[in-house]
Amino acid sequence: MFDGDRTWGSLTIRPDRLGMICYRLVVYPPGISTVERRRLRVARGWPAWGPLLWIACEILLPGAIGPWAALALSTVVAAGAGVLARRCAGRTLTGVRCLTAVVLAGYADPESTAARDRVLAWAETLLGADDDLARGDISIAAHEMAWWRVYDDVTEALASRQPDVRRR
């Protein structure tokens, strides 16, 4: 659960509002350890699990300490857990690269299509390296080299603020 499917990050393709399709590529800094990756995933997942922790505290605490104290303690616990998770992730959290491309289904906008194609090409490179590593066709070093190439390309795309790539 904490490791994730891929060591390098994730690719998410999901429908969005108004018939749009959202392609999101998250690339972790290459060379991070399993522990660092787990910490990253926990810190980045706080917007999902933080409110759940707050609700759990709100359900369990009011009978023991009263409603207003439970509200305060629930808030402190949930916010404190988020701060702790970010602190444990440390500097690697700032090294995560996220790209999002949004395409309107059925509408061929050249800029959006180009952004989507770039995101998918980078993801295909990373997924292909994973497959090659699993088959034993490449070494761990060659896998990490592919990861580095994509990471550098994504960093460059974000730094140049190309119009077909949005930063999130």
Does any domain span residue 18?
Answer: yes
Indicate whether 20 belongs to any domain: yes
Q: Which residues of the chain are modeled with pLDDT < 70?
A: 1-4, 161-168
The domain tally of the chain equals: 2
Owning domain of residue 155: 9-28+96-167
pLDDT of residue 4: 64
Does 1 fall in a domain?
no
CA distances from 95 to 9, 147, 154 (A): 12, 13, 11
| End-of-domain residue from the set 74, 90, 106 | 90
- Same structural domain, 71 and 128: no
The amino acid occupying position 25 is L
Helix or strand (DSSP H, E) at 72: helix 67-89
Quote the DSSP letter at residue 137. Answer: S
The pTM of the full predicted model, rounded to 2 decimals, is 0.79
Q: Residues 61-107: pLDDT tens digits?
A: 888 898 899 999 999 999 999 999 999 988 888 899 999 988 887 77
Eight-state DSSP code of residue 163? T
148 and 104 belong to one structural domain = yes
* 81, 126: one domain: no
Report the candidate in 110, 149, 106, 122 with the shortest Cα–Cα distance to residue 15. 106
